[in-house]
Structure 1
Amino acid sequence: MSIPTPRNRGALVAALLLPALVGGVALTSVGDRVEGATDLPAAVVNLDSPVTTGKGEEKTTIAGGRLLAAGLTAPDEDADATMAWRLASAETAADGLADGTYHAVITIPEDFSATLAGMTRNEPEQAQITVSTDGADGTVVGAISRDVGEVAAARLGRQITTTYLAGLYGQTSELGGRLDEAADGADQLADGADQLANGTSALAGGAGELADGAGTLSGGARELSTGLGQLDRGASDLSQGTRSLASGAAQLDGGLAQLGGGADRVAQGNRDLADGASTLATGAGDLADGLSTLDDQTSGLPGQADQLAAGADQVATGVAGWAQVLRGWGTVCSTPAAASFTALCAGTEAALGADGANADALVDGSAQLRDGARTLAGTAPELTAGIGRLSAGATSLASGADELADGADQLAGGAASLSKGVGEARAGSRRLKSGSSELAGGAQKLTGATGKAAAGARELSDGSGRLAEGADELAGGTAQLDDGASRLRGGIGDLAKGLRDGAEAVPRSDAEKQQSDAEAIAQPVVAAVDDASPIEARDSVAPVVVALVLWLGAFTTYLAVPALSPTRLARAGRATRVMAAGLVAGLVVVAVQAALVLAGAAWLGSAPAHPWALALLVAPTVVVAFVALTQACVAAFGERTGWVVLVAVTALQVVASSGFLPIDAAPGVVRTLHAVLPVPLAGDLFDWALNGSGSAAGVAGLLTWAVFGVALSTVAASRARRTSVAAVRREVAAAA
Structure 2
Amino acid sequence: MTVPVERSRSRRPVTWLTLIGVLLLPAVIGGILVGALYNPTDRLDNITAAIVNDDKAVELNGQLVPLGRQLTGGLVKGADDQPSNIDWVISNDADAAAGLKDGTYTAVVTIPENFTSAALSTRPGETPERATIGVETAPNARVVDGAITAQLATTASTVFGSELSSQYLTNVFLGFTTLGQQLGTAASGAHQLADGAGQAATGATGLQDGLRQLSNGAGQLATGAQQLAAGTGPLADGAAQVAGGATALAGGTREAAAGVGDLAGGANGIADGNQALATNVNALADRIPPQFAQVATDLSKAAPQVNDALVKAAAALQKAADDCTGTPAQCDALRAAAADANAALPQATATVTQIGELAGEAAQLPAGIRSIAEANQQLANGARGLAGGATKAANGLYTIAGGIDGLAGGASQVADGTRQLGTGAAGLSSGAAQVASGASGAENGAGQLADGVQQVASGTSSLADGLDTAVAQLPTYTDAQAKNLAAIVADPVSANGVSDSLFGTAAVPLLAMAVLWFGGVASYVAFQAVSARSLTSRRASGLVALRSFAPAAIIGAVQGLLVAGVVQVASRFDWGDWALFALVCVVAGVAFAAVNQALVALFGGAGRWIAAIVGALALAANIVSTVPPVLAGLASLLPTSPAYASMLGALASSGGVGAGIVGLVVWAALALIVTTLVVVRRRTASLRAAAQPA
TM-score by length of 1: 0.51
Deviation at 1:667, TM superposition (A): 0.7
Deviation at 1:727, TM superposition (A): 7.3
Instruction: Decide which of 689, 704, 725 is 2:650's aligned counterpart.
Output: 689
Whose Rg is larger?
A: 2
Residue 728 and residue 691 in structure 1: after superposition, are their counterparts in 2 closer, same or farther (change >3 A)?
Answer: closer
Residue 590 and residue 724 in structure 1: after superposition, are their counterparts in 2 closer, same or farther (change >3 A)?
Answer: farther
Instruction: Decide which of 662, 678, 700 is 2:639's aligned counterpart.
Output: 678
Aligned to 1:713: 675
- CA distance, structure 2, for counterparts of residue 553 and residue 711 of structure 1: 21
Deviation at 1:3, TM superposition (A): 5.3
Contact between 1:179 and 1:500, CA under 8 Å: does it hold in 2?
no
Deviation at 1:689, TM superposition (A): 2.5
Aligned to 1:666: 627
Deviation at 1:15, TM superposition (A): 1.0
Instruction: Tell me whether 1:14 sits opposite 2:21 in the alignment.
Output: yes
Aligned to 1:302: none
- CA distance, structure 2, for counterparts of residue 487 and residue 86 of structure 1: 80
DSSP 3-state at the match of 2:59:
strand
DSSP 3-state at the match of 2:654:
coil
- CA distance, structure 2, for counterparts of residue 115 and residue 146 of structure 1: 21
DSSP 3-state at the match of 2:15:
helix
Return 5+ residue gaps in structure 1 as ranges.
205-478, 731-736
- CA distance, structure 2, for counterparts of residue 542 and residue 159 of structure 1: 37
Deviation at 1:537, TM superposition (A): 3.6
Deviation at 1:571, TM superposition (A): 3.9
Deviation at 1:111, TM superposition (A): 1.9
Return 5+ residue gaps in structure 2 as ranges.
7-11, 197-301, 309-352, 362-441
- CA distance, structure 2, for counterparts of residue 728 and residue 698 of structure 1: 38
Instruction: Decide which of 133, 138, 142 is 2:136's aligned counterpart.
Output: 133
Contact between 2:588 and 2:643, CA under 8 Å: does it hold in 1?
yes
Contact between 2:564 and 2:581, CA under 8 Å: does it hold in 1?
no
Q: Which amino acid aligns with 2:159?
A: R
Instruction: Tell me whether 1:647 sits opposite 2:605 in the alignment.
Output: no
- CA distance, structure 2, for counterparts of residue 562 and residue 130 of structure 1: 60
Contact between 2:534 and 2:679, CA under 8 Å: does it hold in 1?
no
Q: Which amino acid aligns with 1:687?
A: L
- CA distance, structure 1, for counterparts of residue 303 and residue 456 of structure 2: 6
Contact between 2:561 and 2:586, CA under 8 Å: does it hold in 1?
no
Contact between 2:560 and 2:588, CA under 8 Å: does it hold in 1?
no
DSSP 3-state at the match of 1:95:
helix
Instruction: Decide which of 581, 600, 603 is 1:637's aligned counterpart.
Output: 603
Q: Which amino acid aligns with 2:117?
A: A
Aligned to 1:156: 160
Aligned to 2:4: 2
Aligned to 2:269: none
Contact between 2:4 and 2:13, CA under 8 Å: does it hold in 1?
no
Instruction: Tell me whether 1:511 sits opposite 2:475 in the alignment.
Output: no
Deviation at 1:520, TM superposition (A): 4.0
Taking only aligned residues, the RMSD between alpha carbons, in angstroms, comes to: 4.5
DSSP 3-state at the match of 2:123:
helix
- CA distance, structure 2, for counterparts of residue 706 and residue 16 of structure 1: 19
Deviation at 1:668, TM superposition (A): 0.7
TM-score by length of 2: 0.54
What is the 5 A alignment of 1:414-429?
A: none
DSSP 3-state at the match of 1:133:
strand
Q: Which amino acid aligns with 1:644?
A: W
Residue 567 and residue 149 in structure 1: after superposition, are their counterparts in 2 closer, same or farther (change >3 A)?
Answer: same
DSSP 3-state at the match of 1:87:
strand
- CA distance, structure 2, for counterparts of residue 165 and residue 729 of structure 1: 85
Deviation at 1:672, TM superposition (A): 0.9
Instruction: Tell me whether 1:119 sits opposite 2:122 in the alignment.
Output: yes
- CA distance, structure 2, for counterparts of residue 497 and residue 166 of structure 1: 34
Instruction: Decide which of 471, 490, 494 is 1:527's aligned counterpart.
Output: 494
DSSP 3-state at the match of 1:118:
coil
Deviation at 1:65, TM superposition (A): 2.4
Contact between 1:681 and 1:701, CA under 8 Å: does it hold in 2?
yes
DSSP 3-state at the match of 2:681:
helix
- Percentage of matched positions with identical amino acids: 27
- Provide, for residues 20-67 of structure 1, a one-character-per-residue CA deviation record: whole Å limited to 9, x for no partner: 11111211111043543586444433222122245xxxx454433233
What is the 5 A alignment of 1:379-528?
A: 504=468, 505-506=470-471, 507=474, 508-523=476-491, 525-527=492-494
Aligned to 1:585: 551
Residue 535 and residue 724 in structure 1: after superposition, are their counterparts in 2 closer, same or farther (change >3 A)?
Answer: farther
- CA distance, structure 1, for counterparts of residue 65 and residue 454 of structure 2: 49
Residue 53 and residue 80 in structure 1: after superposition, are their counterparts in 2 closer, same or farther (change >3 A)?
Answer: farther
Q: Which amino acid aligns with 1:621?
A: V
Contact between 2:545 and 2:679, CA under 8 Å: does it hold in 1?
yes
Q: Which amino acid aligns with 1:22?
A: I
Aligned to 2:280: none
Contact between 1:543 and 1:686, CA under 8 Å: does it hold in 2?
yes
Residue 92 and residue 717 in structure 1: after superposition, are their counterparts in 2 closer, same or farther (change >3 A)?
Answer: same
Q: Which amino acid aligns with 2:305?
A: G
Residue 496 and residue 190 in structure 1: after superposition, are their counterparts in 2 closer, same or farther (change >3 A)?
Answer: farther
- CA distance, structure 2, for counterparts of residue 485 and residue 2 of structure 1: 128
Contact between 2:556 and 2:586, CA under 8 Å: does it hold in 1?
no
Aligned to 1:607: 574
Residue 164 and residue 489 in structure 1: after superposition, are their counterparts in 2 closer, same or farther (change >3 A)?
Answer: farther
From the two aligned structures, give the one with the greater helix fraction: 1
- CA distance, structure 2, for counterparts of residue 562 and residue 613 of structure 1: 31
Deviation at 1:709, TM superposition (A): 2.0
Aligned to 1:298: none
Aligned to 1:338: none
Aligned to 2:282: none
Residue 510 and residue 121 in structure 1: after superposition, are their counterparts in 2 closer, same or farther (change >3 A)?
Answer: same
DSSP 3-state at the match of 2:574:
coil
Residue 539 and residue 608 in structure 1: after superposition, are their counterparts in 2 closer, same or farther (change >3 A)?
Answer: farther
Aligned to 1:340: none
Contact between 1:106 and 1:149, CA under 8 Å: does it hold in 2?
yes
DSSP 3-state at the match of 1:2:
strand
- CA distance, structure 1, for counterparts of residue 639 and residue 123 of structure 2: 63
Instruction: Tell me whether 1:23 sits opposite 2:26 in the alignment.
Output: no
What is the 5 A alignment of 1:47-446?
A: 47-54=54-61, 59=62, 61-75=64-78, 77-79=80-82, 83-134=86-137, 137=141, 140-178=144-182, 192=305
- CA distance, structure 2, for counterparts of residue 166 and residue 653 of structure 1: 52
Contact between 2:121 and 2:129, CA under 8 Å: does it hold in 1?
no
Instruction: Decide which of 660, 664, 668 is 1:698's aligned counterpart.
Output: 660
